[in-house]
Amino acid sequence: MASVATTLTRHRLALGILAFLVAVPFLPVLGTSYMMHILILMLMWSVIGMAWNLLGGYCGQVSFGHAAFFGLGAYTGGILYHHLGVSAWWGIPAGVVVVGLGALVIGYICLRLRGPYFALGTLAMGEVLRVTAENLEWLTEGTRGIMLEQRTWVAKEPYYFVILLVAAAAYVVMEILVNSKWGYYFVAIREDQDAAESLGIDTTRYKTIALVVSAVLTGVAGAFYTCYMGYIDPEIVFALHDVSIITIMVVMVGGVATRWGPLVGAAIMIVLSELVRTLPYVGTAHQTLFGVLLIVIIIFLPNGVVGDFHKIARLLLRRPAAAESGGA
């Protein structure tokens, strides 16, 4: 029993956040349909962010092509629904298999590359899948996209709890993986691949593991997206900027290789994009602000809001102190 108690205390923060998120739909202000939508997107992006963080943050393999996995997951659900007439929710379990296999193929091609070249390789994979999805009209309906005739639920709450469950599961998977032997292998590969290799770590194998787990989680988020939004087309789910780059931004803004970075990053990005959308003129070009934000974060907060929290705190705390000394 003691071990349960220690586990509970060790994960106080996680449990607190989980309890809060479970309670949200029942709260008066936060429980509105619009807020639920924002929170659903936020949780979905935090799942993708956590997935990317495992591969990019812990294992050091920066992927520019997570849209490939997101889109594969989304299209698994969409194609099952469109061609076989089964519920798009089957896309989640089926997507695990499809995306897992897809990740093995992509990993076989790309994992022989290092650093920036891996990034470019994955980017190319994402684009290949996008163009393929656009051109394979008999399977994917091409640019017309796939539309679900009706969504499972009208209310947002069921979707919210589904994605909350997925996010919680993703968090648990991350915690277990990162704190396991494998997690240390991942970090060793990130820090120095040759050194890791010489110490007997089968780097290709562990990089593949990180890639597949990361891809499968992203694919689940993609399959959820199909069910939630009810419409997908290649430009949306295989988008380079709107999926792959935003994924990187979510993690960069939140904090690379931090536990809460993806969630914080997703919250900041979603809230920011909603705020910007309401602005009359700038709204059309919200990516300008994202780009500027990305540049600022990279230059001034390279470890993100969570990773460089002490820097922000110091900056905020110093100001009143400086004012006091100035007054005296």
Task: Write out the residues near another protein by the rule CB under 8 A.
Answer: 56-57, 60, 62, 64, 109-110, 112-113, 115-117, 119-121, 123-125, 127-128, 131-132, 134-135, 190, 240-241, 245, 248, 252, 256-257, 281-282, 284-288, 290-292, 294-295, 298-299, 302-303, 307
Nearest approach, Cβ of residue 120 and another protein (Å): 5
Distance (Å, whole) CA 259 – CA 307: 9
- Which CB atom, from 132 or from 152, has the smaller least distance to another protein? 132
Q: For residues 35 and 187, which CB has a smaller minimum distance to another protein in the complex?
A: 187
Backbone phi and psi for residue 235, each to the nearest 5 degrees, phi listed first: -65, -30
Q: Read off the tokens for 189.
A: 């590969």
Using CA atoms, how far apart are residues 110 and 123, in angstroms rounded to an integer? Answer: 10
**Least distance in angstroms from the C-beta of 299 to another protein:** 6
Residue 14 or 294 with smaller CB distance to another protein = 294
Smallest gap from residue 220 Cβ to another protein (A): 25
Question: Rounded distance, CA 263 to CA 306, Å?
Answer: 10
Question: Which residue do the tokens 């349960």 mark?
Answer: 4
For another protein, give the closer residue by CB, 91 or 121.
121
Nearer to another protein, 215 or 297 (CB): 297
For residue 207 the two structure tokens come to: 């990089």
CA distance 8 to 19: 13
d(CA 245, CA 64): 7
**Residues 6 or more apart in contact with residue 164 via CB below 8 angstroms:** 21, 22, 43
Q: How far is the CB of 75 from another protein (least distance, A)?
A: 16
Report in angstroms how near the CB of residue 47 gets to another protein at its nearest: 21
Give me the least distance between CB of 285 and another protein, in Å please.
Answer: 4
CB atoms within 10 A of CB 315: 11
Indicate the residue among 128 and 173 with the shorter CB distance to another protein: 128
Rounded Cα gap, residues 102 and 110, in angstroms: 12
For another protein, give the closer residue by CB, 59 or 88. Answer: 59
The angle formed by the CA atoms of residues 152, 158 and 162, to the nearest 5 degrees, is 100
Give least dist CB 39 to another protein, A: 26
The residue with tokens 């996209």 is 145
Asked if residues 162 and 43 have their Cβ atoms less than 8 Å apart, the reply is no
Instruction: Please give the helix or strand (H or E) that residue 42 lies within, else none.
Output: helix 33-52
Taking the C-alpha atoms of residue 113 and residue 124, their distance in angstroms, rounded to an integer, is 13
For 177-293, strand residue ranges (E) read 231-232
Residue nearer to another protein on the CB measure, 99 or 252: 252
Q: Write down the least CB distance from residue 134 to another protein, Å.
A: 7
- Tokens for 148, please give them: 């679900």
